[in-house]
Structure formats: C-alpha cells, structure tokens
C-alpha cells in the first residue's frame, strides 16, 4: 500500500507479521518499554482492549500481531501522533481490527462508556512536573512528563472503562512503585503480577511491569527478573523472543 510520509517521518519494521509503523525521530519514537509491555500483556481470544495514551499506535499494532483479541483501540490526545497511528493502521491493513481515537485520557469513560473493555494497557509519562523543559508543549515532553495527565488520571480512567474482572497492564519506573501500588488499590485495581526489568543482571531495575485486576482479591505474584542485555549490545534470548527476532 502506498502511504504518504510527512517531513522527517520514516517507516520502521516491527519484526512481527510484516507490520511497519510510521515514526518521526524528531518528535518521538517508541522504546523498549512499549515492546515489553506488549509481551507482558495477556489478551484472550475475543477480548476488547484499550491502550491509553497510545502515541503512534505501537501497542495496539503489536498486540494485534501477538494475540487473538477481537478489537484494539488506541486513545491519544495529540492529533499529530494519532494521525501517524491511523496511517500505520491503514498501511498494515488493520482498519477492521484497530481504531485510533483522538481524545483525553481523563474523558475516556465519557468517550467509550463505563466497563467497555476487557483489557486496558498504558505506557504513560514517567516523570512528574516540567522542571527544566524548554517547551512543555513539544511532543517528546508530553510523552515523557506528566503535563497533560498524571498517573492517577490513568489509573482512574482505567478503573472506569475496564469491566469487573478485567485486567490493566502498565509499564512504569520502579522509583514510583509505592505510588503505583497505592493508586491501584485505591481504585479497586488489585495488583496480581509484577515483573522488574533490569538492563544487566548486576544493575538496578529500570522498568516495572504490572498486571492488576478490577475487583480482584489481594494476592500478587512477583515473577522472575527480566534481564535485557547479557553483554553490551547483545540482548538476552528472552528479549529476542519478545521482539520476535
């Protein structure tokens, strides 16, 4: 399919079902955290999934390639990113499987209705505040800092749009783990699985993956560590498997 790329845009291979995605390296490109979240997320056949703050649509596209979910929706507040996501969906002929909606996470329940999804995912901004940012309106700043939504906004929206017994999958930074768990419990999203991601086996973790269940019982399983590199520049076998190499 012929697709129009805007200035500074490029098509990147996703190593999954031949899918490609449009990105603009001068604005924002997806990182390993999105790929790891797609590998951690469990979607059963026939389920409906929503990705909050989908950016250029990387998580819905990867989940479409990895799972047998019925439909995937991405919600994104920045129209420029949403437009790239829609063009990537069209390029991969996934219009029947993936919808990209422009809107605010804080209004997700009004946009979609309460308890509309079996699964919600999110790779939200990690950093609080905007100290030191030259231009807080730049796409990279919005993607990395809590400028347009907070962690609580994401958790609150999830609690409203996920069905009872539905699941929430989140990737974030370990330094905010206490806050994350507190908010999840506050909004009746019971943490059930957690996995810490380490760049190297002898380094501190720099990511955390969490699964929570709406209205679930209090019991969490901490899974074995996920190690990214076995030596500089060489992924571990599990990372290669998640990427699909």
> How large is the average pLDDT for residues 196-201?
97
Instruction: Flag whether pLDDT at 17 surpasses 90.
Output: no
Mark out the alpha helices in 14-120 (DSSP H runs).
32-40, 58-66, 79-91, 108-112
Angstrom distance (rounded) from CA 49 to CA 28? 23
Identify the sign of the CA torsion 45, 113, 76, 128. negative
> How large is the average pLDDT for residues 126-136?
55
pLDDT in tens, 163-185: 999 999 999 999 999 999 999 99
pLDDT higher at 238 or 29: 238
3-state secondary structure of 79: helix
How confident is residue 134, by pLDDT bands cut at 50, 70 and 90?
Answer: very low
Q: Do 143 and 55 form a contact (C-beta atoms < 8 A)?
A: yes
Angstrom distance (rounded) from CA 91 to CA 114? 31
pLDDT of residue 153: 95
**pTM, two decimal places:** 0.92
Instruction: Flag whether pLDDT at 139 surpasses 70.
Output: no
Angle at 170 between CA 168 and CA 175, to 5 degrees: 140
pLDDT in tens, 217-237: 999 999 999 999 999 999 999
Question: How many residues are given for the chain?
Answer: 245
Angstrom distance (rounded) from CA 169 to CA 11? 27
pLDDT of residue 27: 81
pLDDT in tens, 40-57: 999 999 999 999 999 999
* Nearest by Cα to 11 from 72, 61, 102, 25: 25
pLDDT in tens, 65-81: 999 999 999 999 999 99
How many helices and strands (H and E) does the chain possess? 8, 13
How confident is residue 209, by pLDDT bands cut at 50, 70 and 90?
Answer: very high
Q: How many C-beta neighbours within 10 Å does residue 240 have?
A: 12
> How large is the average pLDDT for residues 104-124?
97
Residue-range domains of the chain with CATH: 10-243 (3.40.50.150)
User: Cα separations (Å) of 155 from 18, 114, 121, 160, 213?
Assistant: 33, 14, 10, 9, 12
> How large is the average pLDDT for residues 207-213?
98
Angle at 14 between CA 9 and CA 19, to 5 degrees: 85
pLDDT higher at 191 or 138: 191
For 66, residues 6+ apart whose C-beta sits below 8 A from its C-beta are 16, 38, 39
Instruction: Name residue 167's beta-bridge partners.
Output: 119, 213
pLDDT of residue 133: 47
pLDDT higher at 139 or 70: 70
Identify the sign of the CA torsion 43, 77, 100, 241. negative
pLDDT of residue 1: 60
> How large is the average pLDDT for residues 83-102?
96
Percent of the chain surpassing pLDDT 90: 78
């Amino acid at each position: 399919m012929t697709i129009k790329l805007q200035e500074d845009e490029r098509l990147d291979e996703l190593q999954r079902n031949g899918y490609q995605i449009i990105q603009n390296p001068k604005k924002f490109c997806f990182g390993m955290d999105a790929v790891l979240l797609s590998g951690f997320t469990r979607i059963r056949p026939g389920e409906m999934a929503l990705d909050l703050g989908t950016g250029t649509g990387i998580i819905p596209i990867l989940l479409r390639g990895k799972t047998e979910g019925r439909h995937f929706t991405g919600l994104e507040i920045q129209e420029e990113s949403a437009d790239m996501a829609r063009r990537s969906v069209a390029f991969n002929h996934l219009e029947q499987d993936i919808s990209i909606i422009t809107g605010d996470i804080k209004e997700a329940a009004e946009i979609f209705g309460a308890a509309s999804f079996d699964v919600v995912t999110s790779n939200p901004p990690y950093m609080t505040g905007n100290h030191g940012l030259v231009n807080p309106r730049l796409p990279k700043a919005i993607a990395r800092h809590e400028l347009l939504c907070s962690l609580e906004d994401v958790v609150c929206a999830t609690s409203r749009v996920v069905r009872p017994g539905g699941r929430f999958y989140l990737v974030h930074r370990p330094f905010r783990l206490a806050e994350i768990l507190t908010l999840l419990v506050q909004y009746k999203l019971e943490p059930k699985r957690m996995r810490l991601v380490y760049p190297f086996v002898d380094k501190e973790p720099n990511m955390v993956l969490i699964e929570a269940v709406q209205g679930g019982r209090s019991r969490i399983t901490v899974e074995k560590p996920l190690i990214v590199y076995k030596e500089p520049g060489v992924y571990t076998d599990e990372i290669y498997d998640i990427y699909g190499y």
